[in-house]
Structure 1
Amino acid sequence: MRRRRAVSVLLCCHAAAAFLGARPVTTPRAHRAEANDDGDENEGDDAVIGLDSLPDELQSQIVEAIARSRLRDGKAEGVISTNEDGAASLFLFGNEDEEVTLEKTDSDEDEDDDDQPFVVLGDRKRKQKKAKDKSEALSRIARFDLRPREVREHLDRYVVRQADAKKVLSVAVCDHYNVVRRCLADENEKKAEYSKPNILLLGPSGSGKTYIMRTLARLLGVPFVRADATKFTETGIVGEDAEDLVRQLVEQADGDVELAQYGIIYVDEVDKLCRGEQGPTSGSQGVPGNRGVQNTFLKVMEETEISIQKQSGMIPQIFLGGGDAAPQRISTKHVLFIFSGAFTGLDERLKQKHVPKNMGFLGGGHDDEEEDDDVPKSYLKQATSADFVDAGLETEFIGRIPVRVAVDPLGARDLELVLLQSEGSVLRQYERDFEGYGVDLTVSRDAIAVIAKKAADEKTGARGLVTVLERTFREFKYELPCAGITELHCDAATVENPRATLDRLLEGVDGARDDVRKADAARVEAEFFARHSLNVTLGDSLVDFLMAEAKAHPERSVRGLCAPLLDDASLAAALHTIQKRTGSIPALPLELLLDREATVKRWLDDLPDVEEEDDDADEDDDEKPVASASSDDRDTLRQIFDAVVK
């Protein structure tokens, strides 16, 4: 058993304050406290702990921690742990608002860990901001007063169609967060029995299931975690399990366990957990071990407490720095679980069950199988619990999901409305993309209709819109920024044949291209300053060569031709030397691009000799005991601290 002694160290000095940009403190102070194995604590005499009394490696850790902390009050406070021989082995860095203590943990038995110094940097401002954000989030939930109709109206701004789904979700979410609001107002309400309205969303890929849930989570302002059911394994098997989703809620809540326990967990592709084939078209026997995966969700879907850290990933509290420890367990009683899946096989089986067979040329109708706009009709709205069990979900699993709602497939007309009416329209994203290149994009009404029709033919729902738009605008994004073209109007013909429209735009733009290349030369000069702090000028010979080369080879750019100069650290160092010796930087000639090494050597050989008085001045500067704000020399820092503290 090792003895531990904790020493609290407070280092304050004018030199440290000057180096760190902090307010100077007049008197260096330190307090030493010793504790024995029994936990008895005796106050020691006030003493100053010099850095030279600590191991070299630990000195470097402390100095680096202090330098990186940018202390506002000039004080560096922390705890040093010593072993039974009195040798310092660990330093924990904090600030005056964080009480840093050493506590014995099971990991103390591991001698290898004790030999490695470990530094924790305090960050009071960031923690205060996080605490404020957490408080605001909980306050917003505590003030929840939305009505189902208001929630549906919010969804209408972003989601096209799906009236039934939006209505059902609005009621379920309002019911749930009304209960949460009462729990935050009354501790006794948390103990009351509660049956959560966990939700199952059914519908084909691209129909907006995930988008609906993300929109709801943003409206509510609660932590939101999304995952695919296919990545989970049974508890005890290598991989992720359902409990990991609950831990991710804590991460999304910035470690606020109370906020996390009112979050939303969304699991997509739950139909892949079915133990058997879903129907004639599925061609799948389900995910191996799917029954065990479903069983892992049974516990977390109701009321249980889960450790916020996996046992294998536990970190001793000693290494977490000062401050109050966060609660170690999180309750899932008020975590809302939402599952979704396409269930294509089940849909096919329900269709066969509810649609009568075609009875000759007089029987069967096209309208029975397809709605308007040639959108296949979904029969998932007619699914019962027994149907889900037949599809492969466990009875206990589907029984814990009382709210079930099917979303409708999207047709061409629906996709057109997505582009025109949704506040989250992907078309706005492409407009911003072109704006970043200095190009104003406009899309005509007839072009939107063609885009929607082509997206519907992709049979991937709203995701088909991105496929069609990317195929339409990809070449424009590549060519227009270097062509000097500032406007692009997309009509139906552009969507049908993007290349023809692009070729027409690029005709007769040589003058505009030259203007872009000249601007690129100025960009190179600006980038040289940003990367190397050097105000360089490209010589006329170099600019003329770059312009001619880029014109002769359209696939090459001025910036690309100058990349070797920008990336050459030795060139930047040589130019810094020239500027220091002569007070100016020569214009970069063409020779520098063609033979950089010889040009730099010639420049350096032509430099005047360094005068001796400059050396004397440099020596005088070195004798000054205050390090510059940009210095990273740890030895200099250590000397400053030792000199003042001693």
Structure 2
Amino acid sequence: MTTDQINGGGGDGTSTGEAYSCSFCGKPQESVRRLIAGPSKIFICNECVGRCQQIIADDQPIVKPHQKPTTPRDMFKLLNEYVIGQERAKRVISVGVYNHYKRIWFGTEDPDVELQKTNVMLVGPTGCGKTHLAQTLARILDVPFAITDATSLTEAGYVGEDVENILLRLIQDAEFDIARAEQGIIYIDEIDKIARKSANPSITRDVSGEGVQQALLKILEGAVVNVPPQGGRKHPHQEFLQIDTSNIMFILGGAFDGLGELIQSRQTKDATSIGFNSIGKAKEDEMADFTAVEPGDLLHFGFIPEFVGRVPLVVGLADLDHEELIQVLTEPKNALIRQYEALFKMDGVELEFEKSALEATARLSRERKAGARGLRSIVEELLVDVMYELPSMEGVTKCIISEKTVTENAWPQLLDEDGNRLDGDLPEGKHRPAAA
């Protein structure tokens, strides 16, 4: 027995000459886009099909994660293996993530209690580890993970990327296993760029950002969303993937330039209101203390109340200090220096960074205001020429990076197995440092 499709008033076909209507809602074919015919002249319209899909999705039992959630203490320990500093942020996030996945695993037997999910906002300067923290969380939890940039998003009708395409990246990372994707983590970077600002309207861009905030509300809170399987803009004649965002954890991150002044202004106001005149000139001169951020600060920054309400956990991250940057270089399992040591070892060469070289690298990163993110580019600049020459040189067993290599562009010390220098021809712009 076949099932036929009849174009409705919004369709692109021609009328059959007979008047049909949906057997479920009673709407005539002119009022709907499609009527699907079943046996014995039973018809269902596209709108009722959508409602049926929603009912079925709501009745589906929640698929539990494949393992019980990691306890906050254990999660904190695992984060410490990869993330340097940010002790308070790691503790708060460990509890928030645990509660989020505990809610999925155990649910609640009390019909009067509805456990809402926990979305997280990470606020901190460039290079403090926001993206790295989100990536490490996903790795620890072994869940699908997707990263997107908020600056590419626009509200519906504008040139740019629809918010639904964020979900497609997560589905792709889950290898199109929808149930697994529905328990993943999505990290949206540069979220501060969609704060509401006064600007001239544009026909090609949602300049204010408020439209993007509105578009994100539904998926942040939890809803069944239609996602184009090939990405791009949605149109009425394509098939969709349906995904429920109720158990997807969203982590939002941004540098929030200017938020520090709002925080300091609030702290000054709070101090004077209880009898203190000032938080002090020294405090005002310090780098913004993002760890003191509150939801109200985000409202003043330009986020609408509905958006802030859907991100209950706001975590401030501090700028990494000198010692922490050195730790980033040397201590985590994926420490930058360890990675380059492994690369040099493949060529039979031992790479050594003198302590003074590590300190100089950390100072340079802070001078560039690049944080941990800038360390890789600095180390790559230091090593690119020697990595170019070493595979063609014979007898080199050790490469020593000194402070002068960082500060004066000096050529590293290359030694043979007896400790003799084998510098060879120096690349243009390099000079041989004086012997120690």
The TM-score normalised by the length of structure 1 is 0.49
Identity %: 32
SS in 2 for 1:344: coil
Distance 1:200 1:499 in 2: 43
**Does 1:486 find its partner at 2:397?**
yes
Supply the AA of the counterpart residue of 2:186.
I
Per-residue deviation, 1:387: 2.5
Distance 1:150 1:394 in 2: 35
Per-residue deviation, 1:37: 5.8
- Matches for 1:147-186 after TM superposition, within 5 Å: 147-182=71-106
SS in 2 for 1:378: coil
Distance 1:38 1:344 in 2: 58
Supply the AA of the counterpart residue of 2:90.
K
Supply the AA of the counterpart residue of 1:180.
I
Distance 1:38 1:337 in 2: 41
Instruction: Summarize the Cα distance change of 1:498–1:382 in structure 2 as closer, same or farther, 3 Å threshold.
Output: closer
Q: Give yes or no for contact 1:230–1:287 (8 Å, CA) kept in 2.
A: no
Structure 2: runs of 5 or more not aligned: 5-33, 35-62, 199-204, 272-277, 429-436
SS in 2 for 1:390: helix
Q: Give yes or no for contact 1:149–1:170 (8 Å, CA) kept in 2.
A: yes
* Equivalent residue for 2:368, pick from 458, 474, 480: 458
* Equivalent residue for 1:260, pick from 181, 206, 220: 181
Instruction: Summarize the Cα distance change of 1:476–1:441 in structure 2 as closer, same or farther, 3 Å threshold.
Output: same
Aligned to 2:40: none
Per-residue deviation, 1:494: 2.9
- Matches for 1:335-484 after TM superposition, within 5 Å: 335-355=248-268, 367-369=282-284, 376-484=286-394
Per-residue deviation, 1:501: 3.6
Per-residue deviation, 1:313: 9.9
Instruction: Summarize the Cα distance change of 1:259–1:452 in structure 2 as closer, same or farther, 3 Å threshold.
Output: same
Aligned to 1:126: none
Aligned to 1:598: none
Distance 1:216 1:228 in 2: 18
The TM-score normalised by the length of structure 2 is 0.71
Aligned to 1:526: none
Per-residue deviation, 1:458: 1.5
Aligned to 2:434: none
- Matches for 1:551-562 after TM superposition, within 5 Å: none
Distance 2:88 2:96 in 1: 12
**Does 1:296 find its partner at 2:211?**
no
Q: Count the aligned residue pairs.
A: 350
Instruction: Summarize the Cα distance change of 1:314–1:205 in structure 2 as closer, same or farther, 3 Å threshold.
Output: farther
Greater Cα radius of gyration, structure 1 or 2: 1
Per-residue deviation, 1:403: 0.5
Superposition CA RMSD, Å: 3.5
Aligned to 1:249: 170
Per-residue deviation, 1:410: 0.9
Instruction: Summarize the Cα distance change of 1:365–1:479 in structure 2 as closer, same or farther, 3 Å threshold.
Output: farther
Q: Give yes or no for contact 1:152–1:166 (8 Å, CA) kept in 2.
A: yes
* Equivalent residue for 2:408, pick from 497, 511, 536: 497
Distance 2:111 2:189 in 1: 29
Q: Give yes or no for contact 1:416–1:449 (8 Å, CA) kept in 2.
A: yes
Distance 2:337 2:249 in 1: 32
Q: Give yes or no for contact 1:275–1:287 (8 Å, CA) kept in 2.
A: no
- Matches for 1:273-292 after TM superposition, within 5 Å: 273-276=194-197, 288-292=207-211
Per-residue deviation, 1:330: 1.1
Distance 2:237 2:177 in 1: 18
Per-residue deviation, 1:218: 0.3
Distance 1:419 1:190 in 2: 50
SS in 2 for 1:472: helix
Aligned to 2:67: 143
Distance 2:3 2:216 in 1: 44
* Equivalent residue for 1:208, pick from 129, 133, 154: 129
* Equivalent residue for 2:116, pick from 180, 191, 195: 195
Instruction: Summarize the Cα distance change of 1:380–1:489 in structure 2 as closer, same or farther, 3 Å threshold.
Output: closer
Supply the AA of the counterpart residue of 1:434.
F
Q: Is the helix fraction higher in 1 or 2?
A: 1
Distance 2:131 2:103 in 1: 24
Per-residue deviation, 1:294: 0.6
Distance 2:370 2:326 in 1: 14
Per-residue deviation, 1:312: 4.4
Aligned to 2:37: none
Structure 1: runs of 5 or more not aligned: 1-35, 40-105, 107-137, 278-285, 317-326, 358-362, 371-375, 514-553, 556-646
Distance 2:126 2:112 in 1: 39
Per-residue deviation, 1:492: 2.4
Distance 2:351 2:123 in 1: 36
Instruction: Summarize the Cα distance change of 1:509–1:297 in structure 2 as closer, same or farther, 3 Å threshold.
Output: closer
Q: For residues 492-543 of structure 1, what are the alpha-carbon distances to aligned partners after superposition, in whole Å with 9 as ceiling and x for unaligned?
A: 2333334344699997677xx9xxxxxxxxxxxxxxxxxxxxxxxxxxxxxx
Q: Give yes or no for contact 1:441–1:488 (8 Å, CA) kept in 2.
A: yes
